[in-house]
Amino acid sequence: MRIGRLFMAAALGVAAMPAAYAAEAYTAEAGGDAGNVRTSAQASLRGAAAADAELQAFYASRNFRPLWTVGGTVTPAADRLIRLLETADLDGLDPQDYRPRALSAAVARARSGAPAALAEVEMLLSRSFADYVRDMRRPSNSGMVYVDRALAPSVPARREVLSAAAAAPSLEMYIDSLGWMHPVYAGLRRSMDSGNGRVRLSERQTLRANLERARALPASAEGRHILVDAAGARLFLYENGRVVDTMRVVVGKTTEPTPMLAGMIRFAMVNPYWNVPPDLARNRIAAGVLSEGVGYLRARRYQVLSDWSEDARVVDPATVDWQAVADGREELRVRQLPGGANAMGNVKFMFPNDFGVYLHDTPDKALFQEANRQFSSGCVRLEDAPRLARWLFGRTLRTGSTPEQRVDLPDPVPVYITYLTAMPEAGGRIAFQADVYNRDAAQMAGGGGDGTLAAR
């Protein structure tokens, strides 16, 4: 089995080998004099790591097996990392914080195969890599509100950063793909790096603003999450770092923009009521009653309630001073019964938040054919709510006739509502989208007068 794996490693190249295979190849070489070299290299690495508790813990956990070298040779992953650090300004960071020139010099010295030089380059590469990843993972100033605090970004420890890199099937590919960041971030970042002079200044500024927003997205590729892009009015379903489905959505009007939120979808409400926002009750419902009488409410299946509590009672609409409601002198709770033309459709997906924002079905399907889909009061209307329900629950949700049927999700799923005026596409292309909420200028101003992001 070992011979077969080593043959495979030779055919694919060291950089493409899974970490376990690379370790086995390194150990297999250790016969005779090579064994002495390996022992000497490990001893040198053990001594070099002693000065840094986190690095020492990482290397001790792998019996001081190197990460950036195999069999006394520096792997291509080191060169890929140095190239990335040299362009750290694209991340709003100062490249000199990670000493790319010193790393290049250390790599050159390590090519001699001397154990001390190999240990030195291991320490320098691991430290610079860990610091770079930690800086990229620091909370952004994008305006994202984390209604579930568990979703807020946290800065990983050096050992955690290095362990994730060591567990990757290919360290070189992990670095190339920015495996510690969300795929949207990686796509935008690559376009800035490869585009360079072909990207206009205004586009580069837009890309920088969107990179900052993308930093607020989840770093882990594992599991499932939902991404809603309010700028493009589209929803994406992610599984293990890949988009598995997408659909159109309707988002907030420019006067009532959908906020950037991150929360956990915990349950669905089947056959929901629609609680009419107070401003709509004042401007639309009251005006309709004053024009057509209380029959306006019956025709549209509206009820008037005494208050906003869970045990509110139904009120006779004939007893309401509708002129006072229309004038704004009285606030009224109005809800629409489930079914029919209910604005919530058949289901809404809840991630409790103080903004009253959620994802929901809608009977008004024609709006999804519009190029610009900013029509809601802030919530996200779904093109195909049953399809989202099947993805979330693994089954179709039966509606029945009972109002407000709560269906809990066994494993809550994160949802990130963001705002991306630049989105990566296949082939390294970038799709620029209209800044419908005028957030780009504010984002750029927050990071510096020339549109660059503040260094961290």
* Mean pLDDT value of segment 248-272: 96
What span, in angstroms and rounded, lies between the C-alpha atoms of 207 and 188? 7
Look over the chain and give the mean of its residue pLDDT values, rounded to a whole number: 86
pLDDT number for residue 41: 63
pLDDT number for residue 105: 96
In this predicted structure, the answer to whether residue 456 has a pLDDT above a threshold of 70 is no
Q: Are 165 and 67 in contact (CB under 8 A)?
A: yes
pLDDT number for residue 161: 96
pLDDT number for residue 5: 30
User: For the ranges 382-386, 418-422, 452-456, which has the lowest average pLDDT?
Assistant: 452-456
**What are the pLDDT digits (tens) for 416-441?**
999 999 999 887 789 999 999 999 98
What span, in angstroms and rounded, lies between the C-alpha atoms of 382 and 380? 6
In this predicted structure, the answer to whether residue 40 has a pLDDT above a threshold of 90 is no
Computed over its alpha carbons, how large is the radius of gyration of the chain? 28
* Mean pLDDT value of segment 397-406: 87
* Residue 220, token pair as written in the block: 């882990």
Q: Which of 379, 380, 392, 415 is catalytic?
A: 379
User: For the ranges 33-42, 243-252, 422-431, which has the lowest average pLDDT?
Assistant: 33-42
pLDDT number for residue 428: 78
Contacts of 397 (CB under 8 A, 6+ apart): 268, 270, 347, 386, 389, 407
Q: Please give the C-alpha separations between residue 373 and each of 250, 307, 381, 389, in angstroms, as whole numbers.
A: 5, 32, 10, 22
Query: Of all helices (H) and strands (E), which one includes residue 110?
Result: helix 100-110
* Residue 408, token pair as written in the block: 């809990």
HEC sequence for 334-385 = EEECCCCCCCCCCEEEECCCCCCCCEECCCCHHHHHCCCCEEECCCEEECCH
Residue 32 backbone dihedrals phi, psi, to 5 degrees: 60, -130
Q: Are 43 and 116 in contact (CB under 8 A)?
A: no
In this predicted structure, the answer to whether residue 16 has a pLDDT above a threshold of 50 is no
**What are the pLDDT digits (tens) for 155-194?**
999 999 999 999 999 999 999 999 999 999 999 998 887 8
User: For the ranges 19-33, 46-60, 366-380, which has the lowest average pLDDT?
Assistant: 19-33
In this predicted structure, the answer to whether residue 138 has a pLDDT above a threshold of 50 is yes
pLDDT number for residue 282: 92
* Mean pLDDT value of segment 329-339: 92
* Residue 381, token pair as written in the block: 């209307």
pLDDT number for residue 15: 32
In this predicted structure, the answer to whether residue 113 has a pLDDT above a threshold of 60 is yes
pLDDT number for residue 18: 36
| Ranges of H-type helices in 215-333 | 278-280, 286-292, 295-299, 322-327
The neighbour count for residue 243, using CB atoms within 10 Å, is 12
CA–CA–CA angle 388, 213, 243 (5° rounding): 35
Band (450; pLDDT cuts 50, 70, 90):
very low
pLDDT number for residue 198: 63
What span, in angstroms and rounded, lies between the C-alpha atoms of 380 and 258? 8
Residue in the block written with tokens 């988002």? 251
In this predicted structure, the answer to whether residue 387 has a pLDDT above a threshold of 80 is yes
273 is catalytic: no
The neighbour count for residue 399, using CB atoms within 10 Å, is 15
* Residue 277, token pair as written in the block: 């926002």
What span, in angstroms and rounded, lies between the C-alpha atoms of 270 and 405? 5
DSSP state of 308: S
pLDDT number for residue 165: 96
360 is catalytic: yes
* Residue 65, token pair as written in the block: 């097996």
Q: How many helices (H) and strands (E) does the chain have?
A: 17, 18
What span, in angstroms and rounded, lies between the C-alpha atoms of 256 and 137? 30
Contacts of 23 (CB under 8 A, 6+ apart): 62, 65
Q: Which of 225, 360, 381, 439 is catalytic?
A: 360
Q: Are 9 and 25 in contact (CB under 8 A)?
A: yes
In this predicted structure, the answer to whether residue 444 has a pLDDT above a threshold of 80 is no
Query: Of all helices (H) and strands (E), which one includes residue 194?
Result: helix 183-195
- Higher-pLDDT residue of 51 and 1 is 51
What span, in angstroms and rounded, lies between the C-alpha atoms of 99 and 106? 11
pLDDT number for residue 196: 56
**What are the pLDDT digits (tens) for 292-328?**
999 999 999 999 999 999 889 999 999 999 999 999 9
Q: Are 106 and 121 in contact (CB under 8 A)?
A: yes
* Mean pLDDT value of segment 248-268: 96
The neighbour count for residue 249, using CB atoms within 10 Å, is 26
Q: Are 92 and 210 in contact (CB under 8 A)?
A: no
**What are the pLDDT digits (tens) for 63-107?**
989 999 988 899 999 999 999 999 999 999 999 999 999 999 999
pLDDT number for residue 247: 98
Torsion of CA 136, 141, 147, 152, to 10 degrees: 20
Q: Are 421 and 443 in contact (CB under 8 A)?
A: no
